[in-house]
């Protein structure tokens, strides 16, 4: 059984990963500064002797002893990562340097939660790991996109320079229970709006696409990746290749909440909003024997049930 550090452990993905790894018998050190994380995501884990919470900002060094590190700390929703863009770049870059330094000292394996945003507004469709992306370096999304790209660079330089055991996963849009009600990302926004009878806010004309992955599929992929041999570094895409327009997503959520009083309204499309996104997951299938199992409607039903309890 391993001693595992999860940075961003009180966030949406981090809390679900903590629970799963705790259930597998590992010791979990959850590090979070509660920028977007929530105590209620981890409250049920606090009674477990193998779970420890450390309030800490990873832009500052951390001295603990660990076997594995999942580096997830970073706001992931556009409204949150654009609220304090300098801090977003800091957490991506300084945070990565600190966690890589920790991995170097402790000889821990370290996995980076990278993102499909490294592909920017892509010309290649679907996106495979060999595609270098089309990212605006100076726009409002750049703090996140370029921060995550620089973090990948650091991971691979620590590998080349210090022979670290690194793993880089590029996560595509993921949704599910433990997302914040006011997270701002599309799935939680639409579900919360539909449950409250508020307008469903489609940005642009809703023809842009995303490919939505349910949280449990992602967690399985991340753990599989962490447990591979040293020669498999990634980057590797983890996402669900079923692609939907944002308009179809809104209609599907309204269909699944038939008593909703909401109607769809159209708002301005944010700057640099990618037009399409869909992962090529051939590499994950081949190297990890992994592919997502949960269909959009099934995952949405579980997520709707979660938000019904929250509201």
The contact set with ligand NAD (CB under 6 A) reads 7-8, 10-14, 31-37, 57-59, 72-76, 91, 95, 113, 115, 171, 173-174
User: Least separation, in Å, of the C-beta of 246 and ligand UDP?
Assistant: 5
Catalytic residues: 144
Query: Closer to ligand NAD at the Cβ: 15 or 260?
Result: 15
Contact partner at residue 11 from ligand UDP, ligand NAD, none, CB < 5 to 8 Å by partner kind: ligand NAD
Using CB atoms within 10 Å of the CB of residue 158, give its burial: 0 to 12 exposed, 13 to 18 middle, 19+ buried: buried
User: Least separation, in Å, of the C-beta of 48 and ligand UDP?
Assistant: 31
| DSSP-assigned letter for residue 269 | P
Distance from C-alpha of 86 to C-alpha of 269, rounded to nearest angstrom: 23
Contact partner at residue 82 from ligand UDP, ligand NAD, none, CB < 5 to 8 Å by partner kind: none
Query: Closer to ligand UDP at the Cβ: 13 or 110?
Result: 13
Contact partner at residue 257 from ligand NAD, ligand UDP, none, CB < 5 to 8 Å by partner kind: none
The contact set with ligand UDP (CB under 6 A) reads 77-78, 173, 185-186, 189, 201-203, 208, 210, 246, 270, 273
User: Least separation, in Å, of the C-beta of 261 and ligand NAD?
Assistant: 28
Q: Evaluate the CA torsion angle 125, 244, 272, 170 in order and state its sign.
A: negative
Query: Closer to ligand NAD at the Cβ: 58 or 154?
Result: 58
Contact yes or no for 282/128 (Cβ under 8 A) = yes
CA distances from 158 to 55, 91, 98, 186, 238 (A): 26, 17, 12, 35, 23
Rounded-to-10 torsion of CA 32, 87, 276, 112: -50
Structure tokens at 230: 């040293």
Contact partner at residue 18 from ligand UDP, ligand NAD, none, CB < 5 to 8 Å by partner kind: none
User: Least separation, in Å, of the C-beta of 41 and ligand NAD?
Assistant: 8
Query: Closer to ligand NAD at the Cβ: 13 or 300?
Result: 13
Please give the biggest Cα pair distance in the chain: 58
Query: Closer to ligand UDP at the Cβ: 201 or 233?
Result: 201
User: Least separation, in Å, of the C-beta of 59 and ligand UDP?
Assistant: 22
Residues in the chain, overall count = 311
Contact partner at residue 234 from ligand NAD, ligand UDP, none, CB < 5 to 8 Å by partner kind: none
């Amino acid at each position: 059984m391993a001693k595992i550090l999860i940075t961003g452990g009180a966030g949406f993905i981090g809390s679900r990963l903590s629970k799963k790894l705790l259930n597998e018998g590992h010791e979990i050190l959850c590090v979070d500064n509660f920028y977007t994380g929530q105590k209620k995501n981890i409250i049920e884990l606090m009674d477990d002797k193998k779970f420890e919470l450390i309030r800490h900002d990873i832009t500052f060094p951390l001295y603990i002893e660990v076997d594995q590190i999942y580096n997830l700390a970073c706001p992931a929703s556009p409204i949150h990562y654009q609220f304090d863009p300098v801090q977003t770049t800091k957490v991506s870059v300084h945070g990565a340097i600190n966690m890589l330094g920790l991995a170097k000292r402790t000889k821990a394996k370290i996995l980076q939660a990278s993102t499909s945003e490294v592909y920017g507004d892509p010309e290649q469709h679907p996106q495979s790991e060999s595609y270098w992306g089309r990212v605006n370096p100076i726009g409002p999304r750049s703090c996140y996109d370029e921060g995550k790209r620089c973090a990948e660079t650091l991971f691979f330089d620590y590998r080349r320079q210090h022979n670290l055991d690194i793993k880089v996963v590029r996560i595509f849009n993921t949704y599910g229970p433990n997302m914040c009600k006011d997270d701002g990302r599309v799935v939680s926004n639409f579900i919360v709006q539909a449950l409250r009878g508020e307008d469903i806010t489609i940005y642009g004309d809703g023809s842009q696409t995303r490919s939505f992955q349910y949280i449990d599929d992602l967690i399985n992929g991340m753990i599989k990746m962490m447990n591979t041999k040293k020669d498999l570094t990634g980057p590797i895409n983890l996402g669900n290749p079923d692609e939907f327009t944002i308009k179809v997503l809104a209609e599907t959520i309204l269909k699944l909440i038939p008593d909703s009083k909401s109607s769809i309204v159209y708002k301005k499309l944010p700057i640099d909003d990618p037009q399409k996104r869909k992962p090529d997951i051939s590499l994950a299938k081949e190297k990890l024997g992994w592919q997502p199992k949960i269909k959009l409607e099934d995952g949405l039903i579980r997520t709707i049930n979660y938000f019904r309890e929250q509201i």
